[in-house]
């Protein structure tokens, strides 16, 4: 049997595995329900480290391209059409710069350090139109949740946190926040997929954050952001 994962330049890391699986899907050589080789076999075939293989499979699982069945193995998802997966930008970013799930988690940890202070600044500096934007984003997230549109909810969540950074009215902080939000996408999406209850708690947290900013209460704004993000780090 021909190997699915011929040896490659291992410096390219997880993106090689992701691209290979997508290429096999597009060519019809892999179909929904097909079983993939196990991690060790992929390592043997590709000569890529097991860590990188695991990261690639984790990214594919997050996006719904593969499913893992405990005690049985890893299979191509029944919905294995690339265009139908969750936020496509996450997978494209993974392919471009091999951003890993672990790196995404580290970006989220960095957000936990930075964003409470950003919220404090927003509570002190936000302009009325910036507060109105935050309020509208909360309402939009409620509508997305009611419609059970997780993709849209995810996009609104990112826009909300970026809007807090904008409300701090500091260009340097805005650029740093923009970068961290982009890098943390993979882990955030993973947590949403693992625990849909986070959607409700996110709306509640965002509502409290906006109220604190509107009331010009820096202490509460920072506190609510810190505890909100902590839920995404928990049980990593």
The domain total for the chain is: 2
Out of 95, 122, 139, a domain closes at 95
89-130 pLDDT tens trace = 445 444 544 444 445 667 777 788 889 999 999 999 999 999
**Does the residue 1 lie in any domain?**
no
Q: Do 109 and 212 belong to one domain?
A: yes
Domain final residue, candidates 95, 125, 145? 95
Q: What pLDDT does 11 receive?
A: 43
Here the contacts of 67-71 (C-beta below 8 Å, separation 24 or greater) are: none
**pLDDT in the model for residue 211:** 98
| CATH for 150 | 1.20.120.530
pTM score, two decimals?
0.58
The CATH number of the domain holding residue 31 is 1.10.10.10
pLDDT digits (tens, 9 = 90+) for 143-173: 998 998 887 888 899 899 999 999 999 998 8
**The CA-based dihedral angle spanning residues 196, 89, 12, 33, taken in that order and rounded to the nearest 10 degrees:** 60
Structural domain for 14, as ranges:
10-95
Give pLDDT tens digits for 37-71: 998 899 888 888 887 788 788 777 766 688 888 88
One domain, residues 228 and 154: yes
Residue 154 lies in a domain: yes
Whether residue 184 is found in the same domain as residue 76: no
């Amino acid at each position: 049997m021909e190997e699915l994962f011929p040896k490659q330049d291992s410096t390219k890391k997880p993106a090689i595995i992701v691209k290979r699986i997508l290429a096999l899907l597009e060519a019809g050589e892999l179909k929904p329900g097909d079983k993939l080789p196990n991690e060790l076999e992929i390592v043997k075939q590709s000569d890529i480290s097991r860590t990188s293989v695991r990261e690639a499979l984790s990214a594919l699982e997050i996006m719904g391209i593969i499913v893992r069945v405990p005690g049985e193995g890893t299979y191509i998802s029944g919905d294995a059409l690339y265009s139908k997966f969750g936020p496509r930008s996450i997978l494209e970013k993974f392919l471009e710069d091999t951003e890993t799930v672990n790196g995404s988690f580290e970006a989220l940890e960095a957000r936990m350090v930075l964003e409470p202070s950003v919220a404090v600044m927003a509570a002190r500096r936000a302009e009325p139109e910036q507060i109105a934007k935050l309020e509208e984003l909360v309402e939009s997230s409620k509508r997305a949740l009611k419609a059970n549109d997780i993709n849209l909810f995810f996009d609104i969540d990112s826009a909300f946190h970026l809007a807090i950074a904008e409300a701090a009215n500091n260009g340097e902080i805005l650029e740093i926040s923009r970068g961290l939000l982009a890098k943390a996408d993979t882990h955030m999406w993973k947590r949403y997929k693992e625990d849909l209850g986070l959607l409700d708690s996110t709306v509640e947290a965002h509502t409290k954050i906006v109220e604190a900013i509107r009331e010009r209460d820096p202490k509460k704004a920072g506190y609510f952001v810190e505890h909100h993000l902590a839920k995404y780090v928990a049980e990593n």
